[in-house]
Amino acid sequence: MSGHVRTALISTAGHCKVACGFCFRADRAHGFLDTRTYTRTLSRLKETGVDGVCLTGGEPTHHPHLRQLVRLAHQFGMSVSMVTSARTVTDVITLSHVADLLANVTVSADSEGAMLLGRTTRTVASGIDTLRAISTETRILHVTCWDLSDGECRALAGLVTGAGVEVQFSPVVLDEHALRREGMSLQEYPARQLLDAEVLEHYFDLSDRYRGHLDELRDLQLPGEGERRQCRSATAYVSADGLIRRCPYGRASVDVHAPRAEIGRFLTDPAQDRVTPDCAAICRPSAPLDARSSTPAERRAACPHEHGTGPSRLPGPDR
């Protein structure tokens, strides 16, 4: 299968005030993506056939020239999406000023257990309030799940139905250090994810892709499960310092200031990276699921591919 890149996830800021305890961002630093570097990036991406970008962070609403970033992408004929944790009045106002220019907006939230684990305050209710405040046609709530209860899922279903937004779920992904900190074994960890999926299924239809994703994470975490598969993602990653990778965790990269031919080869040749638990958590198929609603309104759950915070409706990779 061709490894040709079709979309790009762009980090507009190297830092984020939320600082989730379970964050698996590959690069964390201070500063923002320079507008000139960003413009050059868009030009090189367009030359290789990329037609959509997703702005992420850090926190994209903190970028001082966010509206300019969105408009520049449109000038190159690209659709623009965004993943954000915007909650403060200032952040939500900034988001609302560009919302009409975005194909979709994904607002990140955490379950009660995930908030406790990651020391965050990104509640589902506050995420829905942010989505209600913007005019983007497609509004998506992305919920990172850990240690779910039936009552919490019932309340979540009611909130989503009343708000008229789409919802995506992803499990918390912990590395070996985090597992030791939580006192969990490699066997208990995937079992917790499966239990959460079972509770979710009482109120949302989870697709076979979601179950398959949990299986993949389990196989990647457990030793002796065979050779890791080669990455075949169709989404590139651009860091806030202007490096293009085929995977946020990939070792190979090319600078946006490199010659055109070098960038072109990097984006059109098959990726050489192998799939890891971290990259599998933020780069996977993203498709709407069949809805089962216990109320008149439709509810949809989807398996997101970013990132984390992850990107919203950009086409997901095939692995």
For residue 104, give Cα distances in angstroms to 117, 127, 171, 226, 311: 28, 15, 22, 38, 10
**pLDDT greater at residue 6 or residue 46:** 46
Average pLDDT over residues 49-62: 91
The tokens of 182 are what?
Answer: 């939580």
- Of 3-17, 66-80, 122-136, the poorest mean pLDDT is in 3-17
190-202 pLDDT, tens digit per residue, is 888 899 999 999 9
Residues 245 and 31: their CA atoms lie apart, in Å, by 19
148-164 pLDDT, tens digit per residue, is 999 999 999 999 998 98
Which stretch, 126-130, 172-176, 246-250, 252-256, has highest mean pLDDT?
Answer: 126-130
Q: Which amino acid, 158?
A: G
Q: Which helix (DSSP H) or strand (DSSP E) does residue 200 occupy?
A: helix 188-200
188-200 and 150-163 are packed helices; what angle lies between their axes, rounded to 10 degrees? 50
Res 115: pLDDT: 92
Is residue 31 left, alpha or beta, with left meaning phi > 0 and alpha meaning psi from -120 to 50? Answer: left
- Of 116-120, 147-151, 166-170, 196-200, the poorest mean pLDDT is in 116-120
